[in-house]
Amino acid sequence: MSKNELLLSGLMSTAIATAALVLSPVASAAEEGARKIDEIVVVAPRITRERTERAGTRRVLTVDRDEAVDSSDLDLTLTADMKALEQRIAEAARRVCEELASEYPLGQPRTPVCIRRAIDDAMAQVDEAMASLTE
């Protein structure tokens, strides 16, 4: 593995870990036994190389986009509402990842991987929030 590939791999891991720390759901109190989560933040990181003025060198740049997904109208004890939340998260992940791909076409990860990771991270937020509501 080349030095640049190692750097890119390390930065990708750092970006994903940073995104996970930034992702914090806002949970409201349970209303009449219904579990509520007001908002989930879908984050899509992307690593790209940017050309600098000096001697055509490139620097690695980490960028991200996020979108809040409103779930305050959902009762997450209901399967249909949980599926609706999953759909909203998937749509938001697709939007932010496609936006990044459009702005940084040579960046990593590629759009399908970006979407999968953004969905996985957001669903981890949902799981964590649901667990905290039952404590």
* Domain boundary assignment for the chain: 3-134
Q: pTM (2 decimals)?
A: 0.68
User: What is the model's pLDDT at position 53?
Assistant: 62
CA 22 to chain centre: 9
User: What is the model's pLDDT at position 36?
Assistant: 67
Q: What is the pLDDT along the chain (135 residues), one digit of tens a residue?
A: 444 444 444 444 444 444 443 433 433 433 443 456 788 999 998 887 766 666 667 778 888 899 999 999 999 889 999 999 999 999 999 999 999 999 988 888 999 999 999 999 999 999 998 888 776
> Are the beta carbons of 27 and 36 closer than 8 angstroms?
yes
User: What is the model's pLDDT at position 98?
Assistant: 95
Kindly report the three-state secondary structure assignment for every residue of the chain. Answer: CCHHHHHHHHHHHHHHHHHHHHCCCEECCCECCECCEEEEEEEEEEEEEEECCCCCCEEEEEEEEEEEEECCCCCCCCHHHHHHHHHHHHHHHHHHHHHHHHHCCCCECCHHHHHHHHHHHHHHHHHHHHHHHHC
Burial of 79-92, coded b for 16+ CB within 10 Å and e otherwise, reads eebbeebeebbbeb
Nearest to 62 by CA among 114, 121, 24: 114
User: What is the model's pLDDT at position 52?
Assistant: 62
User: What is the model's pLDDT at position 51?
Assistant: 61
